[in-house]
């Protein structure tokens, strides 16, 4: 069983972004049911964001957590909560603020909105501030760890070099990276996964289902509602979307033969990349807003060596069309931006 900030977590985590960073936020009754189902399924490593809300309601994700733990106070002790922040909430592009002033503003704001309803296990700046040494950023977060107000320091979208520099300042509780069948950059030799394995740092793998497309949630670009942020990402653009659907069709055949869902195949593949001697601990963070999806994601499926080879062979034979984000989001904002 993985351990993060000295607390055991289930093999599967839970990403909360989809509840609130959408034009149509999930109603509390539905969200609360899904959150309770996650805990019932052992998914107690939760990942939220200070800015996971639409303009004007940026802290909606944290407000949801406040309401949930107000209604379910006994669940607070079960959760390992990681929150991303360190961004200018007044900026449309959420410009990184990794300097001490920006970090302190962000952490204080997260703690204010959570209002003591749940302990903040990990705070991480969502992206590296190009204008601030990572040493300053980590030291600023570590001040809150030292006074007991938060549990640990996290990193997000970082390079191996940055991980090493950060770890010299303060122990790193976890590194959050995008990891899925179509985002495998962390596994290059000497890359993030190898570095985390060497330093004993767990990886929290966000978007392990390719933002839903690999699970078969969408069949065409028009399936995304107006205002859905995926509409601006390269891989979801008309032309790229249709080509990337080939991956889903291949997964469909494997899942059907195995008697499970495509999502379960994807999560099994991510888990198989770590969690063994010499490999990094990896906790996938699938998001879901309904009980059925949460329960599906929590039901573990194991791939045999032959099945893993089949999945890897399938991915090696197809091209992923489009970058992980898009061109305007790359310059100056994203340190670990291999493949988009």
Q: Which residues are catalytic?
A: 52
Q: Rounded to an integer, what distance in angstroms lies between the CA atom of residue 11 and that of residue 183? A: 20
Query: Tell me, what DSSP letter sits at residue 318?
Result: S
Helix (H) or strand (E) holding 69: helix 60-71
Count CA atoms closer than 13 A to 28's CA, side-chain side: 12
Helical H runs in 223-304?
240-258, 262-272, 291-298
Q: Distance (Å, rounded) from C-alpha 136 to C-alpha 157?
A: 17
CA–CA dist 191, 61 (Å, integer):
31
Q: Find where tokens 């399936």 sit.
A: 223
CA atoms within 13 A on the CB side of 26: 25
- Asked if residue 230 lies in contact with residue 301, where contact means CB atoms within 8 angstroms, the answer is no
Q: Are 82 and 126 in contact (CB under 8 A)?
A: no
In 106-224, where do the E strands start and end?
122-125, 152-156, 172-178, 203-206
């Amino acid at each position: 069983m993985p351990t993060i900030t000295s607390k055991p977590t289930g093999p599967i985590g839970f990403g909360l972004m989809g509840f609130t960073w959408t034009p149509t936020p999930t109603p509390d009754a539905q969200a609360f049911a899904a959150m309770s189902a996650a805990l019932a399924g052992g998914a107690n490593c939760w990942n939220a964001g200070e800015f996971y809300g639409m303009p004007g309601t940026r802290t909606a994700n944290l407000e949801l957590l406040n309401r949930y733990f107000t209604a379910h106070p006994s669940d607070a002790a079960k959760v390992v909560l990681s929150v991303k922040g360190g961004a200018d909430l007044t900026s449309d592009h959420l410009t990184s603020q990794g300097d001490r002033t920006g970090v302190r503003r962000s952490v204080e704001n997260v703690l204010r909105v959570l209002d003591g309803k749940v302990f903040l296990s990990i705070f991480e700046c969502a992206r590296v501030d190009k204008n601030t040494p990572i040493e300053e950023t980590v030291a600023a977060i570590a001040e809150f760890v030292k006074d007991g107000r938060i549990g640990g320091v996290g990193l997000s979208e970082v390079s191996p070099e940055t991980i090493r520099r950060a770890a010299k300042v303060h122990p790193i509780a976890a590194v959050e990276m995008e990891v899925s069948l179509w985002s495998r950059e962390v596994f290059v030799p000497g890359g993030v996964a190898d570095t985390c394995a060497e330093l004993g740092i767990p990886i929290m793998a966000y978007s392990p289902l390719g933002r839903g497309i690999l699970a078969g949630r969408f069949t065409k670009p028009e399936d995304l509602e107006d205002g859905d942020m995926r509409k601006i990402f390269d891989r979801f653009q008309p032309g790229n979307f249709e080509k990337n659907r080939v991956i889903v069709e291949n997964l469909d055949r494997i899942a059907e033969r195995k008697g499970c869902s495509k999502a379960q195949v994807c999560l099994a593949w991510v888990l198989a990349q770590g969690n063994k001697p010499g490999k990094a601990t990896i906790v996938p963070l699938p998001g879901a807003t309904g009980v059925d999806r949460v329960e599906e994601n929590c039901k573990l499926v194991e791939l045999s060596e032959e099945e893993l080879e089949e999945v890897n062979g399938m991915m090696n034979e197809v091209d992923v069309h489009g970058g992980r984000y898009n061109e305007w989001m790359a310059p100056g904002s994203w340190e670990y931006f291999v493949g988009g």
